[in-house]
Amino acid sequence: MTYNITLTANHQSLTAEYLPLAAESVQYLTAKVVCETEDWTGREIKAMFGQGCTVYEVPVTGGEITAKQQLNLTAGDWCVWLVGNSARDGDVIPRITTNVAHISVAPTGDTEGSPLPTIPPTVEERLRADMGNLADLTTEDKSSLVAAINEVRQTGGGGTAYTIGHGLKLDAKTNTLSVDTADKMEQDNTLPITSAAVYVEVGNINALLKTI
């Protein structure tokens, strides 16, 4: 556990080490009290915090001061010292004290304020938010929205671009794929011939046969 303040007593010598402290904290500050010499053993120890004419007495239990003990120090320089009392011995109460160590607490600002004003997004920020992230596109081409839309149009939404091969044709306006055919028989023409063209050619052959 990290303590905000560490007080170390060696006989009657007291040193204070502390993290940067700021005022107006509530049930936050904690302190560790370390007694290095046996003359503090078995004593009821109190830490005394003084500022001007005001002195606060804080009991030390198990070598520490917890946040619930409300060590709520205000801004300014504080004096701190330890007092260790033993059981009463007749009319005399054996007591050990330390010198005074010093702690500095920095001031803080107001502890209440108003919410930050909401700044509306710019037109560009709204457009980018509506567009989304290009990296989230499931198309192969993610270079731009135009490229992605064109890919979807060509692929029918499959997400994979393809090439129109020989014997096929694509109507870009209707996105319709169909067979590319020949209307008549020609040498070196590898396109399939239509049924109508075949009917014409057969008719021509029959006409020729009749002339033989």
pLDDT average per 10 residues of sequence, the chain (212 residues): 96 98 97 97 96 96 97 97 86 90 97 90 81 77 75 63 69 74 74 72 66 69
In sequence order, the 6+-apart residues with CB closer than 8 A to the CB of 33 are: 7, 9, 45, 47, 60, 63, 64, 65, 82
- Classified as helix, coil or strand, 132 is coil
88-93-98 Cα angle (round to 5): 135
* pLDDT of amino acid 102: 98
Token reading at 184 = 């008549």
189 to 176, 193, 203: CA distances (angstroms): 24, 9, 21
